[in-house]
């Protein structure tokens, strides 16, 4: 049913998405699909790496470790943005097309005051609205 699963990750916050990572691994095993871990970054230093090249190396290492330890095919992509807050959804939608993914498994942020006041928008909802593939949002 699924052949390639796109999994957006932030290496600085892996501790907040174990359920998402485990769901992606389970689905990949069930459907014998490959996982494509993707992260979006800008060129300035961040919590996970000093620059996009270092981040790409770390994401490649993460994907390879996941593949070996779980017996699945993996790949990784680091995508650059001038402003991740503004461009994240557009870049993820582009990654879906570029990778030919047929499923996205992504984490949801925990609901809070920003949602109640409608100050935060949902990246997952934007991907669902503008993509023609299935999206599994894990909370």
pLDDT digit string, tens, across residues 72-102: 999 999 999 998 888 999 999 999 999 999 9
Q: Which residues of the chain have pLDDT under 50?
A: 113-115, 117-119
pLDDT of 109 reads 66
pLDDT at 111: 53
Alpha-carbon Rg of the chain, whole angstroms? 15
3-state DSSP assignment of residue 18: helix
What CATH topology corresponds to 4-138? Rossmann fold (3.40.50)
What is the DSSP secondary-structure string of 63-118?
Answer: HHHHHHHHT--EEEEEEE-S-HHHHHHHHHHHHHHHHT-SEEEEEPPPP-HHHHTT
- Identify which of 111, 113, 114, 123 has the alpha carbon closest to the alpha carbon of residue 39: 123
Taking a C-beta distance cutoff of 8 angstroms, is the pair 24, 47 a contact?
no
Which has the closest alpha carbon to 24: 74, 68, 93, 90?
74
User: What pLDDT is recorded for position 121?
Assistant: 60
> In the chain, what are the domain boundaries?
4-138
Q: What is the per-residue pLDDT for 49? A: 87
Query: What per-residue confidence (pLDDT) applies to 84?
Result: 86
């Amino acid at each position: 049913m699924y052949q390639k699963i796109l999994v957006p990750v932030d290496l600085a916050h892996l501790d907040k998405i174990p359920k998402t990572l485990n769901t992606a691994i389970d689905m990949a095993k069930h459907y014998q699909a490959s996982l494509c871990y993707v992260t979006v970054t800008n060129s300035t230093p961040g919590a996970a790496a000093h620059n996009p090249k270092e981040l790409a190396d770390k994401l490649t290492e993460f994907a390879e470790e996941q593949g070996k330890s779980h017996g699945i095919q993996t790949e990784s992509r680091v995508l650059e943005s001038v402003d991740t807050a503004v461009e994240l959804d557009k870049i993820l939608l582009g990654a879906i097309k570029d990778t030919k993914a047929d499923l996205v498994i992504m984490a949801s942020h925990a609901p809070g005051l920003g949602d109640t006041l409608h100050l935060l928008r949902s990246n997952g909802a934007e991907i669902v609205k503008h993509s023609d593939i299935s999206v599994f949002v894990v909370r």
